[in-house]
Amino acid sequence: MLDKNGIAKRIAQEVKDGYYVNLGIGIPTLVANFVREDIEVEFQSENGVLGMGPFPFEGEEDADVINAGKQTITTLPGASFFDSATSFGMIRGQHVDLTILGAMEVSEKGDIANWKIPGKMVKGMGGAMDLVASAENIIVAMMHTNRAGESKLLKNCSLPLTGVGCVKKIVTNMAVIEVTPKGFQLLERAPGVSVEAIISATEGELIIEAEIPEMNV
Amino acid sequence: MINKKVDNISQALKGVTDNMTFMFGGFGLSGIPENAIAQLVKLNIKGLTCISNNAGVDDFGLGLLLQQKQVKKMISSYVGENDEFERQMLSGELDVELIPQGTLAERCRAAQSGFPAIYTPAGYGTEVAEGKETREFDGKMYVLEHAFKADFAFIKAWKGDAAGNLIFKGTARNFNPNMCGAAKVTVVEVEELVPVGTLDPNQIHIPGIFVQRIFQGETYEKRIEQLTVRQRG
């Protein structure tokens, strides 16, 4: 079974040379720490920066340079700033190559729910609905089950949706799964996790073809 | 040169009254019009509809208007980090419309640019699209979203001149340029009002035509919401 860093490490293998990447809050943010150093990648933050760098050293923070999580950041050589409409133009116009975000639920049709739990304080969707409706390449980073031990990979989402039919790949602490027209296809299992354990933790239909290799993390 | 400079904050906010709709630039606490907000608190006008990506924190930004119960409705994409906001929302005192962040930006830009509405894929198939017109283009579904109608847009820029030309800094830019000219009156506050002719015309982010009033803010706190640093060495 992987921890959050393990999930991020596996997803980092999906980040290719020349990609512009948008990282969501939580596990996705950790992906930046594991991207190969011999490739060129630029991180976009939807509040208006491309070419995001690491957090600043203490005393060097700038209130005018933050990421979508409102954290102080730095920029790398070649970075640019832009307005919100331009930023979402990059996203909607599919200029961003890869979007990695968290989820509360994903369905076997690729629907995603990650913004609202009825009865609880609703904080809003921020840029999540724009991102999932537009990106061609969306990877969800999440734990396979919720705190109550219930599957987060469902036949149908029970929570209000963020987007429909948009998730392409899911990397959890247990498995790598591709969302196909036929449903969830199991591609890889986490080190030490059996196919049977993945089946029992997955509520949606799981397609298993041939031998399932262990992840290389 | 058409002069947009006003002498003080009272002149800058002349004409604001109860029950108006205002746009506020800013993302989190970055790039918010601190001086205009302070004056609105002082004027204590009520029943406001606020279009702003966020709602500030309890004791800063739009949170200051919420504290005095000046806001009737918020149109935002993300409203966490504010206890008073949550209390008013749950008690029904405050009406909240949550919309996708990119849709918010584009509804501002549509208002700025003379489009009555735009089609966006964001929110299709979700509760955000309920009751809205949808349409298929090239096999993909889109939702019709209308341009905002607002009385005033309150903008924060880094540098500007009396002609109303603006330059923004860093991610404090965010929604500010998209809201310029998107309301009946655009009021801009800048950290530094420079003499006309000193800004390079090639480097202007927003031309003065989108601006009606400009002034230099008295002070800026520029509070950091999530100070995050790394260790040296």
Label residue A169 by pLDDT band (50, 70, 90): very high
Label residue B86 by pLDDT band (50, 70, 90): confident
Q: Which residues on chain A are in Cβ contact (under 8 Å) with B230?
A: 54-57
Dist. CA B117–CA B110, nearest whole Å? 7
Dist. CA B47–CA B21, nearest whole Å? 9
pLDDT at residue number B150: 98
pLDDT at residue number B111: 98
B98, A124 Cβ separation under 8 angstroms: yes
CA distances from B89 to A118, B11, B37, B66, B85 (A): 14, 33, 21, 11, 6
Label residue B46 by pLDDT band (50, 70, 90): very high
For residue A108, being part of any structural domain is answered with yes
> For A47, which residue in chain B has the nearest alpha carbon?
B174
Cβ contact A66–B171 (<8 Å): yes
pLDDT at residue number A119: 83
C-alpha torsion A124→A126→A127→A132, nearest 10: -20
Average pLDDT rounded to a whole number, residues A136-161: 96
For residue A52, being part of any structural domain is answered with no
pLDDT at residue number B82: 86
pLDDT digits (tens, 9 = 90+) for B97-131: 999 999 999 999 999 999 999 999 999 999 999 99
What region does B85 belong to: left with phi over 0, alpha with psi -120 to 50, or beta?
alpha
Average pLDDT rounded to a whole number, residues A183-202: 97
Q: Which SS3 state, helix, strand or coil, does residue B222 take?
A: coil
**From the list A67, A71, A91, which residue is nearest B102 (CB)?**
A91
pLDDT at residue number B68: 96
Total structural domains within chain A: 1
Q: How would you write chain A as a 3-class SS string?
A: CCCHHHHHHHHHCCCCCCCEEEECCCHHHHHHHHCCCCCCCEEEECCCEEEECCCCECCCCCCCCECCCCEECCEEEEEEECCHHHHHHHHHCCCCCEEEECCCEEECCCCEECCCCCCCCCCCCCCHHHHHHHCCCEEEECCCECCCCCECEECCCCCCCCECCCCCEEECCCEEEEEECCEEEEEEECCCCCHHHHHHCCCCCEECCCCCCECCC
Average pLDDT rounded to a whole number, residues A81-105: 97
Which one of A40, A42, A46, A209 is the catalytic residue? A46
pLDDT at residue number B81: 78
The mean of the pLDDT values for chain B is 97
For residue A132, being part of any structural domain is answered with yes
For residue A167, being part of any structural domain is answered with yes
Label residue A120 by pLDDT band (50, 70, 90): confident
Average pLDDT rounded to a whole number, residues A61-78: 96
Tell me, yes or no, if B68 comes closer than 8 A to chain A by beta carbon: no
Residue A209, amino acid: E
Label residue A115 by pLDDT band (50, 70, 90): very high
Res. B54: pLDDT tops 80: yes
> For A127, which residue in chain B has the nearest alpha carbon?
B101
For residue A193, being part of any structural domain is answered with yes
Res. B25: pLDDT tops 80: yes
For residue A103, being part of any structural domain is answered with yes
pLDDT digits (tens, 9 = 90+) for B136-155: 999 999 999 999 999 999 99
Cβ contact B226–A81 (<8 Å): no
> For B90, which residue in chain A has the nearest alpha carbon?
A121
Average pLDDT rounded to a whole number, residues A150-166: 97
Average pLDDT rounded to a whole number, residues A11-37: 95
Average pLDDT rounded to a whole number, residues B206-214: 98
A177, A185 Cβ separation under 8 angstroms: yes
Listed as own residue / partner, the contacts of B202-206 with beta carbons closer than 8 Å and 24 or more positions apart are B203/B167, B204/B165, B204/B166, B204/B167, B205/A83, B205/B157, B205/B166, B205/B167, B205/B168, B205/B173, B205/B177, B206/B157, B206/B165, B206/B166, B206/B168, B206/B177, B206/B180
Cβ contact A85–B106 (<8 Å): yes
Cβ contact B229–A55 (<8 Å): yes
Average pLDDT rounded to a whole number, residues A126-139: 95
Burial code (b: 16+ CB inside 10 Å, e: under 16) for B7-25 equals eebeebbeebeeebbbbbb
For residue A109, being part of any structural domain is answered with yes
The CATH code of the domain that includes A185 is: 3.40.1080.10
Res. A121: pLDDT tops 90: no
Tell me, yes or no, if B21 comes closer than 8 A to chain A by beta carbon: no
> For B109, which residue in chain A has the nearest alpha carbon?
A85
Cβ contact B229–A163 (<8 Å): no
Average pLDDT rounded to a whole number, residues A149-160: 97
Q: Which residue has the higher pLDDT, B83 or A50?
A: A50
pLDDT at residue number A122: 85
For residue A54, being part of any structural domain is answered with no
Domain extent, residue A151, equals: 4-38+94-207
Cβ contact A129–B78 (<8 Å): no
A42 classed as catalytic: no
Dist. CA B88–CA B69, nearest whole Å? 9
What region does A14 belong to: left with phi over 0, alpha with psi -120 to 50, or beta?
alpha
pLDDT at residue number B233: 74
**From the list B29, B128, B178, which residue is nearest A84 (CB)?**
B178
pLDDT at residue number B90: 85
pLDDT at residue number B144: 98
Average pLDDT rounded to a whole number, residues B40-65: 97
